[in-house]
Structure 1
Amino acid sequence: MLGDDIRDDLDLPYLDLPAGATDTAGRYRVGPLENGSRTLFRGGDPVAAAPGELTSLTALVPLSHLLGRTVAELRRSYLDEHGMPLLRAGRYAVD
């Protein structure tokens, strides 16, 4: 995942990003597996797609949260031991 190499270089622990279909950010949802891939939707509009039953979730669910953050917030999250402000207590932070 994005930032893993930076965290590894700084001896920070791996961030385990929740990736269940119900863990998507507010206005996003992950569609069903169709033809081997899933689509991330914001409202009714497709945003991204990824292949695989499980790998699609591990890509699209975190993406739904990353899209709502600024570059500065993402940088702080990957440099913070616990992943804040993106994560709080191991779950996605809701602002």
Structure 2
Amino acid sequence: MTTLTQLEWRTMADDHRYLIRDMALGDTTISETVLHPDQSTKGHAHPWPEVYLCNAGEGTLYLDHDGGHPLVAGARYVIPGGVHHRVSTVKGVTFTCVFEGPRR
């Protein structure tokens, strides 16, 4: 058995907007994003589903340009494949994403 602390994080981005780190677990990618205050992710869509788990802070998850969904500690969302999604925050938010395959 492997614990999460035994897996290696790879930094995918580290700039004024956010820190993104990924780890591979077989065919699954676990990604952690630290979105800094007053920032937004670029937003994107892809054909596969993705799970979002909020770890800390507060933000808003927008799906297909809707009115937004609260992203607060403990919040969990499944984003269907093909749905455009992005996150914005005023105070800062940390969330984990889980998806099948490597980052594309």
The normalised TM-score by structure 1 is 0.33
Higher helix share: 1
Higher strand share: 2
The normalised TM-score by structure 2 is 0.31
